[in-house]
Amino acid sequence: MILSVLHTTTYRYETPVRGVVQSHRLTPSVFDGQKTLRWKVEVEGGLAGGAFRDGAGDWIQSHSVHGPVSEITVRVSGDVETFDLAGVLRGHRESVPPEAYLRESAFTRADAALVELGRAAVDGVRDALDAAHRMSAAVAEAIAYQPGATQSQTSAAEAMSQGQGVCQDHAHALISAARSQGLPARYVSGYLLATEGEGPHEAAHAWAEIWIKGLGWIGFDPANSCCPDDRFIRLGSGYDAQDAAPIRGIARGPGSESLDVTVAIQAVQQ
């Protein structure tokens, strides 16, 4: 199908800042499951800087805004044709070895509960793909989808402990459990076509990918109990949510920062 995206992020600063530098991972991935038809990233008052494709295959673009400035808006718009590959990341070029994603991070450090969840999934199972599916289902059962129950700094262990969270927490927990059992896993950021009546949705979405020997990277979305299909647009990946964030940056100046994000995804008739 063809998905149309309109994603607006507005940063507001309590005190005007001298300038802002941002790094964007906002360009759709290049692989067999999606084809970018039209895509535009605009930064109000911004100047585009260097850009490159990193070792994970993600396109990174820098932008800077000279101050004083009290508000910055980043607008993303475009159309992407998507194809259902049953979660398989086929045709994606990258140079980072899968084993690099066995490294834990602060958000994905496994506690006893996450290690046990992973161990139970692989117990008596010889097929790694089956074990990964079982882990994803176990995470969905252990962490109820509850918007507002966690915040951006919540770790996988904390979300497991309270039994509630959002897609970020589901992804972190699955990554943690998989790594604890020797399966490379990573965090993926992107978009999801929100359709009422099909379970929990967030248009700005996140899921996990697990490396299965012989198959490659396979996506799992515990929040929606599925593998990514043609409702998903993949942007980029990382060790955790912070590493895979679509927008990262720094503002030069004192005062607090507030953030407002709106994302609209709709299917376009082909």
| Residues 74 and 41 sit within 8 Å (Cβ to Cβ) | yes
Domain with CATH 3.10.620.30 in the chain: 85-238
Verdict on whether the full-model pTM lies above 0.75: yes
Tell me, what's the pLDDT at 197? 52
Query: Among the residues of 36-166, which ranges form H helices?
Result: 112-122, 128-142, 156-162
129, amino acid identity? L
The CATH classification number of 2-81+246-268 equals 2.60.40.2250
Instruction: Pinpoint the residues of the chain covered by CATH 2.60.40.2250.
Output: 2-81+246-268
Using the Cα atoms of residue 149, residue 155, residue 158 and residue 162 in order, give the sign of their dihedral: positive
Q: Could you tell me which residues are beta bridge partners of residue 221?
A: 226
39-to-76, 79, 105, 154 alpha-carbon distances in Å: 7, 6, 32, 32
Cα 46 to Cα 7, 120, 206, 236, 256, distances in angstroms: 17, 50, 27, 22, 21
Residue 81 carries which side chain, given as an amino acid letter? E
Question: pLDDT in tens for each of the 270 residues of the chain?
Answer: 999 999 999 999 999 999 999 999 999 999 999 999 999 999 999 999 999 999 999 999 999 999 899 999 999 999 999 999 999 999 999 999 999 999 999 999 999 999 999 999 999 888 999 999 999 999 999 999 999 999 999 999 999 999 999 999 999 999 999 999 999 999 999 999 977 555 445 689 999 999 999 999 999 999 999 999 999 999 999 999 999 999 999 999 888 899 999 999 999 865
CATH class given for the domain over 85-238: alpha beta
The span from the first CA to the last CA of the chain, in angstroms, equals 7
**Do 59 and 25 form a contact (C-beta atoms < 8 A)?**
yes
Do 246 and 26 meet the contact criterion of CB atoms below 8 Å apart?
yes
For residue 174 the two structure tokens come to: 């699955």
